[in-house]
Structure 1
């Protein structure tokens, strides 16, 4: 049997295809990007056919490099962005664009669900509070607003599950991805009949659920001709990107934690039991490992806030980036270093897309607070990173308040590349921050481990402990930590003081398109 693993990570901005060997080494990778559509301020969609095109093109690109042939690929496996809702017909053809995780248009559907079943009941069953970000409310929005699409929908799929169907002709999802839908019973590891009955959603419209390591099927002859892999190549279902990232970060035993720094960001840990926060600030996914859970707090616009800062305020940095051949973020970080911690009391609320944890307010919006004539662009740049970090600190403290002991934080994702943010987080969290050797490939590594377990390359998902290298360690700086401690309650106060303003803005109706 061939020992190479092809892992596809279907993220928010594109598909990263990576080939791993039996030692967990990434031999090659490539990225194929796709478009995101914003019909209005609450709606965020993608074309699922772009997912398939991305998987086909990225696979063919890897194979065309001449280092690997179709016969070398022992298994194909997946990580995927979570919480979407894609209606497809009985042949797997999309009936509408997929409403992805960031879509928040289904606010009224959430209120309707709340009248049918207690939110406490849903939180206890699924580990999640009610939110328009989850698949359930999105499906009901389609039922209410696109009745013909809903009627024709044979299944509602998540991102990776659509591609798995295209490859194998099998309907399937996994425990971890299903746990982000507001419909999955964490402990029973199946769809919740109680919730589905309450909202009158037939279980037949959802795919069967399997462990992440399950071999769902084999590449069909038809898919083989298009993608360039051998027919009969095993396909492992894989997992949701958060759970795959946990595995790739080496968070596979109770007490370990990591922060993913990407377009959205989250803090997650491994736990033998779901964690139920009295304020419902955090939630719990199913881990890739049976019997293990992944308590998590996710914010909407982390790296996305820094990207907004780049695109809106930093044209010169982008210009220099092209001239010097380095990332514009590196230049922005150099500017931010010139500003003292706390940005001279300038605060940024990173709620450009509403917010999930800790506030769960789709109407929240971004803001700079404390601007004076003294502040320059460098202050704004640093304040954006600090605002994102303050919000992550609130999520971390939500776990600490439950008595969870976290001694160090691993960081992965594109935002983990820079030393500046990593050091800032160490001071913000007041703890050691660890950076693995694989940061942008961590999610892909997690998916690869799952695929390898599925066909017997690895004995279990815990094998990642022997494959993972911690490359860098960042320690808190006492003076910086003291500044952040003083500003931390003020940051929280800023949001709370603006809640009524956010509601007033929302009452004015949808933003102009």
Structure 2
């Protein structure tokens, strides 16, 4: 085997809109990357489906693409691991071929199945066993829907696989999932780290229809002859159990110890807090899942619309920036950030509550909607830009306060996602949260997390912590500015009351009935 410095690790990142393959060296540097989109299908307004064969097709295509790069010697690739969009589920036969379209995590068809689960098991029991709330988001009601409406696919299914499991089966011919992905199905007992007999028996889902669940970073084996041929790789590459996208992103920014919080801001914002043991919030404001580190857990808080609101503003009110940015060799979001920096902290009293498609953690209110508060004649579009950025950070702060209330130590924010490219936004985040905001050198933290798991499974590293210490390189750190934080604390006392003031008067619900 070649020396450690010569060895390469390959990540397959199968996301919601497309798949990416990235080759890393053992110091966390990207040597080659390729991305390809695949379509989602919308048979009706509430339905979101994908053809699982597209995942494998794109995985193959992007692997072929990175192997063309002069920086990549395929004989030096020693490990592969996969990360994925979570909760999406597909029934497959004994050969791993899909029996229907996959039902995607965004799909909302399973309202009735959720009501059934609540009636038969109850919210409290589900939260106690799985760490999750009952919601169409998760895999369990999707399987229930398949049983009722696609009965042949359910009966013929050898296994129900998540995206990660489907790809791993094609690589190794083994039906395996990992704890981090399994813990997002609403079928997995995170206390026992096994499928819940209580839930499966109540919902009449045979346990044998689910894959074996292993800790992330466990070596499954090598590539099959067929997979090696299809990918143009050698058979003795180590294939290791991967992890869910959010947990892998946490590893990819170094959230491997207490005190570090992962904040990914793209369309929405996803916060993960490191936990040594499984914990619960008695008020069910935040969820608990397995980390992609064996024996560790995370609190999760999802804020549905953050970056998407800035995109909404750009697309509807920033045509000049969209046309000007390419001529200045800038991204349009860079220009929006520059404009936000012309406005003082607090946007001179202008606040936006970013619940444009309902509220996620900690409110979990599907009827909530966005609010613009404090608007005056002296405010400009630049005030609105900054207020949108501040709104995201106020929501992050709200959830961090809940983490603290639950006993989670917090020393720093490790950020990733598209918003992390915006230095103005990063500084606002540091100032509002009163924490150091740290950005890794590799923006594709999810894929880096999977590469770390591949390195552990291949035996390059003894454990995930030591691998992350070597492969996660810090690029930028923003420290809170005291005077800005003092000002933001005053504004936050007002902001934190806005949602509840509307909620207490049933105005969200009244509006939803009119719309």
Q: With structure 2 as the length reference, what TM-score do the two structures score?
A: 0.91
**1:38-72 CA distances to partner (integer Å, 9 max, x unpaired)?**
56665444333332222112111111123324322
Kindly indicate whether residue 367 of structure 2 is the aligned counterpart of residue 390 of structure 1.
no
Compute the displacement of 1:87 (Å).
2.8
Instruction: Name which of 311, 318, 321 aligns with 1:314.
Output: 318
Give the 3 Å change call, closer, same or farther, for CA 454–267 of structure 1 in structure 2. same
C-alpha displacement of 1:218:
2.9
Task: Note if 1:503 corresponds to 2:509.
Answer: yes
Does residue 444 in structure 1 map to residue 447 in structure 2? yes
**2:289 counterpart residue number:** 285
- Tell me the CA shift for residue 227 of structure 1: 2.4
SS at match of 1:7: strand
Q: Which segment is superposed worse, 206-215 or 30-39? A: 30-39
CA contact (8 A) 2:223 2:234 kept: yes
Question: How far, CA to CA, are the matches of 2:45 and 2:391 in structure 1?
Answer: 22
Deviates more, 1:6-15 or 1:183-192: 6-15
Segments of 5+ residues of structure 2 without an aligned counterpart are: none
8 A Cα contact 2:253 2:262, kept in partner: yes
1:194 shift after superposition = 1.0
Match in the other structure for 1:91: 95
| Deviations, residues 237-290 of structure 1 (Å, cap 9, x unaligned) | 211112211211112123322212223322222221223112111112212222
Q: Partner of 2:182 in structure 1?
A: 178
More displaced 10-residue stretch of structure 1: 333-342 or 388-397: 333-342
Q: Is the 8 A contact 1:119 1:130 kept in 2?
A: yes
Post-superposition offset of 1:9:
1.8
Q: Distance in 1 between matches of 2:211 and 2:264?
A: 28
Identify if the C-alpha distance between structure 1 residues 478 and 215 changes in structure 2 by more than 3 Å, giving closer, same or farther.
Answer: same
Distance 1:352 1:221, change over 3 A: farther
Deviation digits for residues 381-427 of structure 1, max 9, x if unmatched?
Answer: 22222222221111111111123221221212222122111111111
Superposition RMSD in Å:
2.4
Choose which of 175, 189, 199 in structure 2 pairs with 1:195: 199
Which residues in structure 2 correspond to 1:392-431 (within 5 Å)?
A: 392-431=396-435
Shift of 1:329: 0.9
Within 1, Cα distance between the matches of 2:312 and 2:53? 27
SS at match of 2:410: coil
Aligned pairs, number: 508
238, 245, 249: which one aligns with 2:242: 238
**1:368 alignment partner, SS class:** strand
**CA separation in 2, counterparts of 1:179 and 1:379?**
41
Structure 1 CA distance for aligned equivalents of residues 102 and 370 of structure 2: 26
Q: Which residue of 1 aligns with 2:456?
A: 453
Q: Are the equivalent residues in 2 in contact too, given 1:31–1:58 (CA < 8 A)?
A: yes
SS at match of 1:243: helix
Given candidates 26, 32, 40, the residue that maps to 1:28 is: 32
Alpha carbons 2:238, 2:454 under 8 Å: kept: no
CA distance in 2, matches of 1:508, 1:86: 37
Distance 1:414 1:120, change over 3 A: same
